[in-house]
Amino acid sequence: MIHTLFSNRLEDLADSLAVLLAVPTGHPLATQHVMVQHPGMGHWLNMRLAEHPQHRVAMNVDYPLPVAQMWSLIRGVLGDQRVPEHSPYEREVVAWRLYDLLASDKVTGDNAFTEPNRYWQQQAQRQQALRRFELAEEVADLFEQYLMYRPDWIQRWDRGEETHWQARLWRLLTADAPDHPVRLLRDAEQGLDRPQGVLPDVLFVFGINSVAPLWLDFMRALSDRASVDFYVFCLNPTNEYAGDLTTEKRAARLRARWLDAHDPEALALDVGNPLIGSLGQQGQMFIRQLTARSDHETQLYRHPLGENGAGGLLHRLQADLLELVDGRDGGGHAGADDRVEIVSAHSALREVQGLHDWLLHQFNDDPTLTPKDVLVMCPNVEDYAPFVEAVFARRFDDLAETVPPLPSSIADRTLRDADATVATFLDMLTLPDARFQVSQVLGWLQVDAVRERLGLSHDDLERIADWLDAAAVHWGLDAGHKSQWTGEGGSDRFTWSQGLERLLLGFAWGDQEAVVGDRLLLPQVEGGDAVVLGKLMAFIRELRDLTRDLRKPRSVGDWQAFLEERLRQALFAAGRDFDPAHDDLRACIREFGENARRAGLQGNLPLEVVRRVIENALATPARTGRQFLTGQITVCSMVPMRSIPFRVIAVLGLNDGEFPRQRPPLGFDLMAEDGPRAGDRSRRGDDRYLFLEALVSARDRLYLSYQGRDVRTNTEKQPSLVLGELMHYLDGCSGWSRGHVRELPLQPFSEANFSGDWPGFDAYWLALARRREPRQKVASLEEPEWPESVALEDLARALENPARHFARTRLQLYLDDAGDAMPDDAEPFDPDHLDRYRLQHAVIEGVLCGEPRAAERARQHFHLSGAAPEHPLVDDQLDEWQSQAELFTGCLQRAGAAGMTRQAVSVTEAGLTLEAELPVTSNGDLLFWRLASPRGRDWLRLWLYHLVANARQPAATQGCFRGKQTEQVRHIAFAPLEPAQARDHLGTWVRFWAASRCEPSPCHADLGVTMVADDYRPSQFAGLWNDEYQGRGVGRDAYMAWFWPHPPEQGALLDALQPLYGPMLQQAEIEDAPLEVADD
């Protein structure tokens, strides 16, 4: 008999199953079979059975999936000799068989196959095998659908009644294995009176809302003729007959048509509950087909409102579904509450952040709620997984003790996205097509399994990144590999080969840079670091060998050995932390080999096909269900027939066009051309029924979220159709309106996020939300210990940005620390200003030091260091830079730079001893130079050294810089000062330095030289503080912005700058002259 049990609560069905499983069977250790559609349902059911108060145990219960269970039943009827353990018509096996068949003469030589032959044969030779396998996969998927939902087609094709290419291909496929599932099923139906194997006495079917009519008929035949009892446990949102319900839209069309025909039945048309009619069509079709074959029905419905009829909006909605009534009629509901929460956000991240705050409120308000009571679903979990990890996986030390932590686990992630080891394994299969960018290789080294396999530490990786940056490694293994992209005759510049060679030879050469041949040897590798360099070189050599070996076609067995030994075992460390990844990779490689061998595949396979197979296998969610129902908040994808009850259910990503999900049919999909039949499944129908099941499965609260605003323009966006239908339904119920949709602000630090009914919990965002007033007054710190002496260079560095000096020395705050910057993948294509500065200064210093061929050496160093772009026009640019440097050198030589010496001096002023090395020319004057436009720090350094020198004896000081134009030189000169006057000015700076050690000061040097100048206008201040066309504003400095998020008051700032920079600008003599004139 077929017994059907219906309920609107899955846990009640599970309890009934527990009672039936407790009934003694023929053998106490006999295995009971409960067919489920998804492993997650089996996992939940097993836990539910083990928690049943009367049994407390779930033992010897197997949870097969429908196809496996039906194949087992067929084997039980026809016997093991006729039916193998695994079907040769599994999709993965059929794909390999079709891959072989499509290349056979039977297909390529037959004009009937012109369409599929053209599809893969018109590709480039290297891509033909991959395109053929992709076609085989698509056709195998279609054949699987035909076997399940169009068995009559298969039987006609077997009889030769169809002549199109798919029918012909099917007959060629079945020539070697005529016992396909439809034929075996028909034979099994005929042999039910004399089964050749063992059939179960009882079979349970749990939580399935869609079964092909083919299998339902087989179940009916097994029940009638083989005495197999079936117990089908079916979740049904309504206890009323809904098989003839229609949607409101279709009902309106029918009414209009019938009224035009004066048909009185038009007025009697009833849609019942519109949500059941719209969302439940696919499930109700299955229930109608199931009840038509059922012998006995049991109804286990429970009213959501209970005996007293009390409940919130969620329970009243579920009651409407159960009773199949339209809640918008007859006065509707009593009112809205927070049992159903609909939220609009600007992005997926804000959806997750809003859910996080809402859940914290639920845990605060309900002490009985635990993380395992919460389910979070989204159409595709990969779209939300990074945000869930960022928002939920964090510390809560900053929260009050009454706020519970929110542990979460993310299920249904693909193997590739869930594990870095698996992702890197797949990356290794792309090596023949890789450019070996430096960031890509460093990314592989940062994977723990690879790093530990090589025996490298995180500090080693930082050193390696620094080495590669110094060695100008950007991309390409060597000149030959690089020429695959650049053409023949390419050099090895910017490649791994030249970079590693320079580092290795530099280690052997010594601790100084040296030019040997056409190589600039680098001294970065020292002592024990050579071991790290050796490991890096071994890794690159292994990648080079893999790149070569992966290009070779191999047999299936050879590919299995290669993937196991050369990739998995050779590149990735073993250990407890990496066991799951190794298990997944081993299973994937094993299944690849088994499927190909079961298909009888012969010959060699190219890498492209093998890579496609492995990628497909690892692009599926983890089959073990490791992260599903772990006792934490479960975050997962919306999977059909896995609607499990939870106290709180949240559904994210209900966006227009994204849910319900759609899969466009293939151009040669015959089912799409034929049109739908009763019992057909569709992705769209699955999703609509899944949403309906989510409405029914939430016990206490339902949280629905969508992206209702554009993140850039803030324009309104529509929700998913299913959410729109629910909102339309609720809008008709009194007490609820679209005004109840809660809109999250764009940013988590918005003030609106910390007000209203659901304020946020994050103290960090709250700090940003509070209005920050300008910090005109900051509490002073105690004066630190007074140093015995300070180097004048350190004093100048402190005074050029006092706020930075205070933050670093007193607060240990390093705001502009760039961190571990990765080397750039892109080679230099155009020299920049920093390159010009370095080259010109190398030329100038070389000439002033009397080095022969200084310019030639500087240019050679520029080329060999990897800073120069690899194009012929770069030398023209270098000629221009060299000319400017030589002209500037002439100016310096006439100023006495050629005989300049360093004179150590020590001056004590205001209780501080300043030590400096003065650059003194042959005539006793000081000379400073920099071939760049003078900035505030240049002025400050020039003035401080001038004061220290004149504190001992009068001396002139001159600075040479680039003028306003590139072809100009700017002379800044200070006349000699009396020692007393110099000491007076120097004391002012020392006292300011002492004060700046106790509290931050906005007296930045760039502000000083501009604001104190005679031509300064107050209207210029905004440009000085913020970005302007000439450069970056002072207010953009990380330390200035930290202490003064808003500009300080201009008048007070000018009063503080005047005594410091006023005397300097009054003493300065400025002259701009063309370089050529200066050189003459």
Q: How many Cβ atoms are within 10 Å of 714's Cβ, its own excluded? A: 9
Kindly list the domain boundaries of the chain, sorted by start residue: 2-82+193-299, 91-178, 313-412+626-666+679-742, 416-472+529-618, 772-1080
Alpha helix ranges (H) inside 471-578: 479-486, 496-509, 529-550, 556-561, 570-571
Q: Which two tokens stand for residue 637?
A: 């994808």
Residue 658: predicted pLDDT: 92
Q: Which two tokens stand for residue 994?
A: 């002492």
| 963 Cβ neighbours under 8 A, 6+ residues apart | 933, 969, 970, 1072, 1073
Banded model confidence at residue 873, pLDDT cuts 50, 70, 90:
confident
Select the more confidently predicted residue: 778 or 278. Answer: 278
Q: What is the mean pLDDT of the chain?
A: 89
Select the more confidently predicted residue: 143 or 509. Answer: 143
Sign of CA dihedral 581, 416, 665, 242: positive
C-alpha dihedral over 416, 422, 427, 428, to 10 degrees? -160
Model confidence pLDDT, tens digit, residues 450-463: 999 999 999 999 99
Residue 624: predicted pLDDT: 53
* Percentage of the chain modeled with pLDDT above 70: 92
Banded model confidence at residue 832, pLDDT cuts 50, 70, 90:
confident
Summarize the confidence of residues 188-192 as an average pLDDT: 94
Assigned architecture for domain 416-472+529-618: Orthogonal Bundle (1.10)
Residue 271: predicted pLDDT: 61
Is residue 9 over pLDDT 60? yes
Separation between Cα atoms, residue 1026 and residue 1047, nearest integer Å: 9
Summarize the confidence of residues 735-757 as an average pLDDT: 87
| C-alpha pair distances (Å), 521 with each of 302, 517, 692 | 81, 10, 69
Is residue 838 over pLDDT 80? yes
**Which option is the CATH number for 91-178: 3.30.230.70, 1.10.10.160, 1.10.3210.10, 1.20.5.440?**
1.10.10.160
**DSSP characters over 701-762:** EEEEEEE-B-TTT--B--B-HHHHHHHHHHHTSTT--GGGSEEPPSSTT-GGGGSSSS----
Is residue 831 over pLDDT 90? no
**Which option is the CATH number for 313-412+626-666+679-742: 3.60.15.10, 3.40.50.300, 3.10.20.30, 3.40.50.2300?**
3.40.50.300
Which residue type, as a one-letter code, is found at position 562?
F
Separation between Cα atoms, residue 418 and residue 409, nearest integer Å: 11
Is residue 207 over pLDDT 70? yes
Residue 452: predicted pLDDT: 96
Region at 32 (left for phi over 0; alpha for psi -120 to 50; beta for the rest)? beta
pTM (predicted TM-score): 0.86
* Residue 215 · residue 70 · CB < 8 Å: yes
Residue 687: predicted pLDDT: 93
| C-alpha pair distances (Å), 887 with each of 352, 637, 919, 967 | 62, 69, 21, 9
**DSSP characters over 397-461:** TTS-TTSPP--EEE-S-BHHHH-HHHHHHHHHTTGGG----HHHHHHHHHSHHHHHHHT--HHHH
C-alpha closest to that of 243 among 279, 197, 289? 289
CATH number belonging to domain 2-82+193-299: 3.40.50.10930
Banded model confidence at residue 1030, pLDDT cuts 50, 70, 90:
low
* Residue 696 · residue 317 · CB < 8 Å: no
Residue 1031: predicted pLDDT: 62
* Residue 212 · residue 293 · CB < 8 Å: no
| 534 Cβ neighbours under 8 A, 6+ residues apart | none
Summarize the confidence of residues 1004-1024 as an average pLDDT: 93
Lowest pLDDT segment from 168-177, 291-300, 756-765: 756-765
Is residue 399 over pLDDT 50? no
Banded model confidence at residue 922, pLDDT cuts 50, 70, 90:
confident
* Percentage of the chain modeled with pLDDT above 90: 66
Separation between Cα atoms, residue 544 and residue 162, nearest integer Å: 52
Banded model confidence at residue 917, pLDDT cuts 50, 70, 90:
very high
Model confidence pLDDT, tens digit, residues 418-428: 899 999 999 99
Residue 835: predicted pLDDT: 86
Banded model confidence at residue 396, pLDDT cuts 50, 70, 90:
very low
* Residue 282 · residue 689 · CB < 8 Å: yes
Q: How many Cβ atoms are within 10 Å of 1073's Cβ, its own excluded? A: 14
| 681 Cβ neighbours under 8 A, 6+ residues apart | 149, 210, 282
Separation between Cα atoms, residue 67 and residue 82, nearest integer Å: 18
Separation between Cα atoms, residue 99 and residue 102, nearest integer Å: 5
* Residue 388 · residue 408 · CB < 8 Å: yes
| 27 Cβ neighbours under 8 A, 6+ residues apart | none
Is residue 616 over pLDDT 90? yes
Lowest pLDDT segment from 424-428, 516-520, 936-940: 516-520
Banded model confidence at residue 54, pLDDT cuts 50, 70, 90:
confident
Q: Please state the φ and ψ torsions of residue 845, each to the nearest 5 degrees.
A: -65, -40
Residue 279: predicted pLDDT: 92
Alpha helix ranges (H) inside 951-1004: 979-996
Is residue 397 over pLDDT 50? no
Max distance between CA atoms of the chain, in angstroms, equals 123
Highest mean pLDDT among 628-632, 728-732, 1062-1066: 1062-1066
Is residue 338 over pLDDT 50? yes
Banded model confidence at residue 782, pLDDT cuts 50, 70, 90:
confident
Is residue 398 over pLDDT 50? no
